[in-house]
Amino acid sequence: MAGFRYHDVGPVDITMIPHPLVTLLLDLSEHGIVYDVLGRPATGNAVVGLHADALRITSAGAGDVLQIRMSPVIAAAILRDTDIIGGAVTPLPELWGSCAAILTERLRSTPSWEDRFAIAAAFLRSRVPRGFGVAPEIAYAWDQIVRTRGLLRIETLAAETGWTRQRLWSRFRTHIGVSPKHASELVRFDHAAHLLATGRSPADAAVEAGYADQSHLHRRTKAITDMTPTVVARAPWLAIDEVAWPTT
């Protein structure tokens, strides 16, 4: 979890770079966040899925936002909707109805970020049915994709789970909402994007992240974000960490 407090009274306009985790954005401001999804606006609290691509986010002025990022394995237990996990942007009221508004008001009236985090965590735990979970093979596959930064071959991954490639592909999509290949690409791209953010050249980032060459990284970056690697390196919303959000 992470809390934002933006102080500008003027309009806020940033791009959220695709990420291999499912993101919940809880808008605690008075003005309201607007998400541009393929040219269509969506407002308020939302779930950002694994197919969000480069998501443009705007707001009218100062306010607070609570961001929660979850692995798709955890999101599967909390959200229980693979179309949302593997989708673009879903307004939270469509998922949780009036509970979303009640949660937002409670968070908005709580001044401490630590208390807000505790309230949000308790709420999310309450959404998980007793005994619910994805298949162990799917959880293992996701962990291996993350551990190898998206470079493990799907055939090898299937063999390690004891499933055929076709079964892994089908079950992974059923549980997580995207294919193992798409999940691997998101993890690999996230690694490359953070290398770029630290100042590494596109050529060096391409080699370390496992792309064939700089041209390959350029093509995949354009396909995923519609940006060049140079622009991605300067994008502010890579993730909530010391790389993407320096103290300055």
Segment 179-234, tens digit of pLDDT: 999 999 999 999 999 899 888 999 999 999 999 999 999 999 999 988 899 988 88
Q: How do beta strands 2-6 and 46-48 pair?
A: unpaired
**Residues in contact with 21: Cβ distance below 8 Å, sequence separation at least 6, in sequence order:** 69, 70, 71, 72
pLDDT at 145 (0 to 100): 97
Q: How do beta strands 40-43 and 33-37 pair?
A: antiparallel
pLDDT at 119 (0 to 100): 97
pLDDT at 248 (0 to 100): 41
> What is the residue extent of each domain of the chain?
2-126, 136-234
Buried b / exposed e across 81-96, counting CB within 10 Å, b at 16+?
A: bbebbbbbbbebeebb
How far is residue 214 CA from its own chain's centroid? Answer: 25
Residues facing 4 on adjacent strands? 65
Class of domain 2-126: mainly beta
| Cα 124 to Cα 132: distance, rounded to the nearest angstrom | 14
37 neighbors 115 (Cβ within 8 angstroms) = no
Segment 56-83, tens digit of pLDDT: 777 766 778 898 999 999 999 899 888 9
Segment 108-141, tens digit of pLDDT: 999 999 999 999 999 999 998 887 778 999 999 9
208 neighbors 195 (Cβ within 8 angstroms) = yes
pTM: 0.87
Q: Tell which CATH classification among 3.40.1190.10, 1.10.10.410, 1.10.10.60, 3.40.50.740 matches the domain 136-234.
A: 1.10.10.60
